[in-house]
Amino acid sequence: MNEQQQSLLVQSASRFPPPQGIKLSYGTAGFRADASILQSTVFRIGILAALRSLKTGGAVIGLMITASHNKVSDNGVKVADPAGEMLTQDWEPFADSVANAPDPESLIQLIADFAKKEDIPLNGSKGATVLLGRDTRPSGESLVEAAKQGICSVIGAVGIDIGVVTTPQLHWIVRARNKDSKPSASELDYFDQVSTSFRCLIDLIPNKSQHGIGKLIVDCANGVGGEKLQVLKQKLNWSDVEIRNSGEQGVLNEQVGADYVQKDKVAPQGFGPPDVGVRCASLDGDADRLVYFTIIPNGNNRINLVDGDKILSLFALFIKDQLSILTDYTNEYQPRVGVVQTAYANGASTKYLNQLGLHVIFTPTGVKYLHEKAHEFDIGIYFEANGHGTILFSNRFLRWLEDKKSTEKSLEKQNAAMRLWAVSKLINQAVGDALSGLLLVEAILQHMGWSVEKWNELYHDLPSRQLKVKVADRTAVVTTNAETIVEKPPGIQEAITALTVKYPQGRCFVRPSGTEDVVRVYAEARTQEAADELATSVAKLVDQFLGFHVGM
């Protein structure tokens, strides 16, 4: 690092002192905290994003200011790598160190040592580009400015503010500018691609006039998704969709949004008895999660939830159907389809997917693990129950599909190839995307002629319960086998197993939280009463080993 670079970094860093007595860590969702303490962290992650661009040969890197489904007073920052995916796990320890360096001198030394180890030029000989996006939180603008200051403190680095966008839009634009060789890709290109792909799928529906599925109401969590869904509604001339909780009156993520609906299993604010029987969907605050639901008649606002497991099952069924049309088993090339889940996936969904003949693989909790595993297949499908997920298509499969589109003589096979091609363009392959996911669900339901009730009947979830146990040190719990087996402390797994076998269709696991000092408990059983009892018993067991108290 030359003197000019060192001087610039010291001068800039001194304007953003870190909060005292607070340690932050970069998890799956980046850094998240109360917005009032994030200026220093966001400034420093701006530096990291610029270094990442230099390390990747000047590729465009994304930096998103959001706290997703957290309360409005929180905010956060996450980094998107050149393919639009999350920051490589190799850089997460550096992110932690940078965020928590106690003073400018320590920060500069960390950066100098890391740049040397990674062979990152810090002499202005190469340029770096970072795209900045934010959600609708009031704290977003000032944090974007802090990020810009960090980016610009690296000589040759430029920060480009693309304004208020969904998190998936930022990831999509980063991917398009790098992987898809569209250096000027913008939000407008995103809207054009997803709307064109959606229309293609609708145009390919056989007997389309017979497949009306009625009105859709979308809860947009009073976040950025409302504004963006309105654009899609206008582009598609989509009269059957009603947008609610678009942010004009309500509070971001307060009794609204996919996280609230999925966890509490109640209708969001602004929904009620008049909506009984109508297909409803819910996005989260930055529009990267999606769940569906219907309101139960006379149910005190209770709902029938159609969660990420059901979305995954719908996508997997549709893709399997199209492949079965397209492929005959004399072909040399057979696309490998893999479905990736975590232990939180309901056991009934896994059983259904196995019955379809699909290969189901489990990973630890966290989108970064699911996404990485999905890359191992020609078509990799993953979703968490919380509604975050996507579909990945290999380059080999897309080349094969391109050939099939143009050479297939059978109209039925040609249409199947075109449908799969449209899916690959509609779904956001960089990250889970509530808007593109919503359009794909709607296209498939129309193709099938299915109501949301028929979709929900694919299988019946086993009753489940989640609890958490507050602990002094969550790292005392060490798990293996995709977090389903506890290795440490010794003896606890045997006790969990002994409790679980007492319950018909019982399944239970515990894992340390990635964000809080708690151990999470998940239990399933044949009845809700049994699931509740199993979860409570195991939570008490965890408490005996290393906890303070049990909570929901």
3-state secondary structure of 520: strand
Task: Report the CATH fold assignment for 195-304.
Answer: Alpha-D-Glucose-1,6-Bisphosphate; Chain A, domain 3 (3.40.120)
Which CA distances in Å does 364 have to 289, 361, 473?
A: 19, 10, 20
Instruction: Kindly indicate whether the domain formed by 309-436 is annotated with CATH number 2.60.40.
Output: no
Confidence at residue 270, expressed as pLDDT on a 0 to 100 scale: 96
Token pair recorded at residue 287: 């529009």
pLDDT confidence of residue 517 = 79
Distances (CA, A) of 122 to 5, 27, 42, 157: 7, 27, 20, 10
Which residues, in sequence order, are CB contacts of 60 under 8 Å at separation 6+? Answer: 53, 82, 129, 130, 131, 174, 177, 178
Give me the pLDDT at residue 116, please.
Answer: 95
CB 448 within 8 A of CB 319: no
CA distance 440 to 424: 10
Correct CATH for 464-551 of 3.30.310.50, 1.10.150.310, 3.30.450.20, 3.30.70.870: 3.30.310.50
Q: In the structure encoding, which two tokens stand for residue 84, read together? A: 């639009």
pTM, two decimals, is: 0.94
Q: Which of 12, 37, 18, 35 is nearest to 151 (CA)?
A: 12
> Catalytic residue numbers?
68
Q: Do 309-436 and 3-164 fall under one CATH topology?
A: yes
pLDDT of residue 29: 77
What's the rounded Cα separation, in Å, for the pair 370 and 382?
6
Annotated binding site for substrate: 384-386, 511-515, 520
Annotated binding site for Mg(2+): 68, 284, 286, 288
CATH code assigned to 3-164 = 3.40.120.10
The burial of 398, by beta-carbon neighbours within 10 Å (0-12 exposed, 13-18 middle, 19 or more buried), is given as middle
Task: Give Cα separations from 166 to 77, 136, 511 (angstroms).
Answer: 13, 9, 30
Residue whose C-alpha is closest to residue 389's, from 355, 438, 349, 352: 438
CA quadruple 80, 84, 85, 86: dihedral, nearest 10 = 10
SS3 353: helix
CA distance 448 to 455: 10
Hey, where are the domains in the chain? 3-164, 195-304, 309-436, 464-551
Q: Along the 552 residues of the chain, how does pLDDT read in single tens digits?
A: 888 999 999 999 999 999 988 999 887 779 999 999 999 999 999 999 999 999 999 999 999 999 999 999 999 999 999 999 999 999 999 999 999 999 999 999 999 999 999 999 998 778 999 999 999 999 999 999 999 999 999 999 999 999 999 999 999 999 999 998 899 999 999 999 999 999 999 999 987 656 678 999 999 999 999 999 999 999 999 999 999 999 988 999 999 999 999 989 999 999 999 999 999 999 999 999 999 999 999 878 999 999 999 999 999 999 999 999 998 755 678 899 999 999 999 999 999 999 999 999 999 998 999 999 999 999 999 999 999 999 999 999 999 999 999 998 999 999 999 999 999 999 999 999 999 999 999 999 999 999 999 999 999 999 999 998 998 888 899 999 999 999 999 999 999 999 999 999 999 999 998 767 789 999 999 999 999 999 999 999 998 888 665 565
- Asked if 430 and 85 touch (Cβ cutoff 8 Å), the reply is yes
